[in-house]
Amino acid sequence: MARREPKYLGARFGELTVVGYVHHRSQYHCTCDCGKQRTVKTSQLSRGKTVDCGHAAEARYQRNQRRREEKSIRGAMRRTRAAITKARREAAFTIIAHCGAWHTLVCVPWDCPLCGWVLDTTH
């Protein structure tokens, strides 16, 4: 039985250029635009499953990794803001000034705008 001539030599599939054929495995030697060599099954080329050496997947992974890190940082900032808000809420207390006005304080020196009564909460 005679061997078939490879029909994809010199053809381009995405970023891969076919440069050789492996007869006993039905695979092609390809060169990517980035310069890497790769051996790919004929069926993977003809169906369009393999279009580069894998460098695009690496770049996509790195881009997604950066997004995950940014998301993690945003989450940490959001949790920190929530913790600060909760601490302020817990530290706040309500007092009644001499004039009868109700005021909510957050642990700071304060004076009543109505009667001028001063409360120092920093002791």
Pairing of strands 92-96, 12-13: unpaired
Do residues 74 and 90 both lie within one domain?
Answer: yes
Decide if 23 is inside a domain: yes
Decide if 18 is inside a domain: yes
Do residues 87 and 113 both lie within one domain?
Answer: yes
Handedness of CA 70, 74, 80, 83 (dihedral sign): negative
Q: Which domain holds residue 79?
A: 57-118
Decide if 7 is inside a domain: no
pLDDT tens, residue by residue, 54-110: 888 888 888 889 888 888 888 877 877 777 677 666 655 566 555 666 655 555 455
Q: What percent of the chain has pLDDT over 70?
A: 63
Decide if 3 is inside a domain: no
User: Do 88 and 71 contact (CB within 8 A), yes or no?
Assistant: no
User: Do 94 and 104 contact (CB within 8 A), yes or no?
Assistant: yes
Do residues 47 and 80 both lie within one domain?
Answer: no
Do residues 62 and 110 both lie within one domain?
Answer: yes
Please state the pTM of the whole predicted model: 0.47
pLDDT band at 123 (very low <50, low <70, confident <90, very high): very low
Do residues 110 and 66 both lie within one domain?
Answer: yes
- How many domains would you assign to the chain? 2
